[in-house]
């Protein structure tokens, strides 16, 4: 690892954290390529290592957001605690449905979510005004 | 099971399936579903999503750790600047209009969908 790789890892790490704080995601989407490109990890090792970084970042992010009054802890723990059921279901799906169908299916779901959120973001004042006090 | 708990269970299952299948991305499922289905505001959806991801990430990292695939030094190298980033990002989120960050999230979803299709 040379200086440029180190700088790259630090920069992509910071960007991942920023995304995590702004968007409520774990940051794995940036950690994984960062670990492969700058720290020379293989894909499997990078995905595994990314999860530890995700857990650390999410912990600090959840703590900060809790301070801002934005965490419903019970709901979050229910979703986190039950997610392994979904992981197991995902393994079953991976072995029974074609990978391409799964990719297209989840992409369609995400595009639908994007459409709904964009409509809310673009809708004039009433909806935004309703959301502001909540947030 | 109450309808609300049922919805949380479905969100958990969908997020787990997505991250199990594609390695990343539970948050892109959790945040929109909390908003569209449980009436969360954007900021509390992202904050609550992070609390869920702590549990998901820790469990998954622990499992991978048992197989010796986790490089702790690398995780810290990329994770510590990320800790600075998440503190800054969460602070910035409180100051930005909800519409702006929710619009940014919609763009993230489009990018993620394109990555899946491509």
- pLDDT (tens digit per residue) in A89-103: 888 888 898 989 999
Does position B105 have pLDDT exceeding 70, yes or no? yes
* Domain end call among A71, A92, A108: A71
Residue A76 in domain? no
Contact B86 A60 (CB under 8 A): yes
pLDDT of residue A125: 56
Residue A121 in domain? yes
Tell me: do A64 and A102 sit in the same domain: no
**A134–B contact, CB cutoff 8 A:** yes
* CA-wise closest residue to B80 among A67, A47, A45, A60: A60
**B71–A contact, CB cutoff 8 A:** yes
Tell me: do A31 and A94 sit in the same domain: no
Tell me: do A131 and A100 sit in the same domain: yes
Q: Report the number of secondary-structure helices (H) and strands (E) in chain A.
A: 6, 0
Residue A120 in domain? yes
| % residues pLDDT > 70 (chain B) | 100
pLDDT of residue A116: 93
Mean confidence (pLDDT) of chain A: 90
Does position B1 have pLDDT exceeding 80, yes or no? no
Tell me: do A63 and A107 sit in the same domain: no
**B66–A contact, CB cutoff 8 A:** no
Tell me: do A56 and A90 sit in the same domain: no
- Please state the rounded mean pLDDT for residues A54-63: 97
CB proximity list for B83: less than 8 A, separation 6 or greater: A17, A56, A57, A60
Chain A residues close to B54, C-beta within 8 Å: 55, 58-59, 62, 76, 80
Residue B50 Ramachandran class (φ > 0 left, ψ -120 to 50 alpha, else beta): alpha
The residue range of the domain holding B51 is: 3-117
- CB B54 within 8 Å of CB A27: no
Tell me: do A52 and A106 sit in the same domain: no
C-alpha distance from A129 to closest chain B C-alpha (Å): 10
- Please state the rounded mean pLDDT for residues B92-109: 94
The residue range of the domain holding A132 is: 84-135
Tell me: do A67 and A4 sit in the same domain: yes
**A92–B contact, CB cutoff 8 A:** no
**B75–A contact, CB cutoff 8 A:** yes
Tell me: do A1 and A54 sit in the same domain: yes
Tell me: do A60 and A92 sit in the same domain: no
Tell me: do A65 and A89 sit in the same domain: no
Q: Domain count of chain B?
A: 1
pLDDT of residue A131: 53
The interface predicted TM-score (ipTM) is 0.94
Q: Domain count of chain A?
A: 2
C-alpha distance from A20 to closest chain B C-alpha (Å): 6
């Amino acid at each position: 690892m040379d200086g440029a790789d180190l700088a790259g890892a630090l920069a992509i790490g910071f960007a991942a954290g920023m995304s995590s704080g702004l968007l409520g995601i774990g940051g794995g989407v940036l950690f994984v390529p960062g670990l492969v490109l700058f720290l020379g990890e293989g894909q499997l090792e990078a995905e595994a290592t990314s999860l530890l970084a995700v857990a650390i970042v999410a912990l600090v992010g959840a703590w900060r957001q809790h301070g801002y009054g934005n965490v419903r802890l019970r709901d979050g723990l229910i979703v986190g605690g039950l997610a392994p059921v979904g992981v197991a279901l995902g393994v079953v799906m991976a072995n029974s449905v074609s990978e391409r169908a799964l990719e297209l299916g989840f992409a369609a779901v995400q595009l639908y979510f994007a459409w709904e959120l964009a409509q809310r973001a673009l809708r004039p004042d009433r909806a935004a005004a309703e959301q502001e006090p909540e947030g | 099971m109450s309808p609300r708990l049922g919805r949380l269970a479905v969100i958990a299952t969908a997020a787990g399936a997505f991250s199990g299948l594609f390695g990343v991305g539970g948050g892109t499922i959790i945040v929109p579903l909390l908003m569209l289905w449980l009436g969360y505001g954007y900021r509390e959806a992202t904050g609550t999503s992070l609390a869920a991801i702590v549990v998901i990430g820790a469990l998954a990292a622990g499992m991978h750790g048992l197989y010796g695939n986790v490089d702790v030094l690398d995780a810290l190298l990329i994770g510590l600047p990320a800790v600075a980033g998440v503190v800054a990002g969460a602070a910035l989120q409180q100051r930005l209009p909800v519409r702006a960050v929710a619009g940014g999230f919609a763009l993230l979803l489009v990018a993620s969908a394109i990555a899946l299709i491509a």
